[in-house]
Amino acid sequence: MLSRTLRSGAALTELGFGAAQLGNLYRPTTDDEARAAVDAAWASGIRYFDTAPHYGLGLSERRLGEALRERPRDEFVLSTKVGRLLVPSGYPEGTMDDGGFAVPATLRREWDFSRDGVRRSVEESLERLGLDRIDIAYLHDPDHHGEQAHAEAIPALIELREEGVVGAVGAGMNQSAMPAEFVARHDVDVIMLAGRYTLLEQGALDDLMPLAAERGVGIVAAAVYNSGLLSRARPAADATYDYGPATAEVIARANGIADVCEEFGLTLPEAAVAFPLRHPAVVSVVVGMRTADQVVGTVDRYGAEIPEGFWQALSDRGLVRDA
């Protein structure tokens, strides 16, 4: 599998393993399923793995760390995130997490983008992972904490990078405007952009993408199926988009793209995986994978041969803005 290199020197495979499902996203995943998914990813050549404390209240980090611990450490890139500390919840026994993960709520998330909070988060992630270092540390969804993110959190990550505790720093968000500010104002290495530079939506071309290319900042494209809308050959009538019901206009545009896919013998998800990698700033596409079968299917999509004429047809019909 091909890789692209950050200016920090970390080489990310073009397809990355998103480990939210290993934290029981929406429904339980067994330990065996989680381990088999990581094993299948490794066998396929995937060497970039992304997780976060938020995912299953630490369950994703623990499972991913256990599955990677026996692998040669210099052969993979691991990223996790800061901004949500995990603290004892004090909730009654049997209470389940209300953050989208099927896990007991023995812990709760506490927002903290302070210098001390960032350092504590990295230390606790290293303990859960059982690994000796973190290759990339992202601020996780600092949307409502912008002032503290600029004043404390990003400088704290840069400090940890200078100390050698983490290899590269940046932010992971569902918007492009604030990450563009981080790129403009700070010495960050990489941005994980969820849902804002996809086959369906290219708004990040107005701010983040050109700036990242100019500054040599890598972009990791996540949520490339836009909440599942692009994950099948045709969007369902009740498809979701940006974590809510998709409008008729959005579904119609997705169907227009699907029409072109069919003309070229392609599928919508194959094109969705491939599209972000056409931008010079994008270093990896991260897709959430729960089982070994999902890994195999995603790798097959990544490997699809897509002719240049397909992209030209989308552009000619006004269906995409191609960088």
Catalytic residue among 26, 48, 55, 197: 55
The pLDDT value recorded for residue 308 is 96
Question: Residue 71 is part of which domain span?
Answer: 3-227+269-317
55 tagged catalytic: yes
Q: Is the pLDDT of residue 58 over 70?
A: yes
322 within domain boundaries: no
Q: Which residue has the higher pLDDT, 189 or 243?
A: 189
Band (pLDDT 50/70/90 cuts) for residue 268 is: very high
Band (pLDDT 50/70/90 cuts) for residue 148 is: very high
The pLDDT value recorded for residue 105 is 98
Band (pLDDT 50/70/90 cuts) for residue 242 is: confident
Q: What is the mean pLDDT of residues 225-251?
A: 92
248 within domain boundaries: no
Q: Is the pLDDT of residue 110 over 80?
A: yes
Band (pLDDT 50/70/90 cuts) for residue 209 is: very high
Q: Which residue has the higher pLDDT, 243 or 64?
A: 64
Q: What is the mean pLDDT of residues 178-192?
A: 98
246 within domain boundaries: no
Kindly report the CATH number assigned to the domain that includes residue 290.
3.20.20.100
19 within domain boundaries: yes
263 within domain boundaries: no
Total domains in the chain come to 1
281 within domain boundaries: yes
145 within domain boundaries: yes
- Alpha-carbon distances, residue 29 vs 102, 103, 277, 289, 291 (angstroms): 9, 10, 29, 11, 8
CA pseudo-torsion sign 224, 226, 230, 232: positive
Band (pLDDT 50/70/90 cuts) for residue 323 is: low
152 within domain boundaries: yes
Q: What is the mean pLDDT of residues 177-204?
A: 98
The pLDDT value recorded for residue 187 is 98
* pLDDT tens-digit series, residues 124-136: 999 999 999 999 9
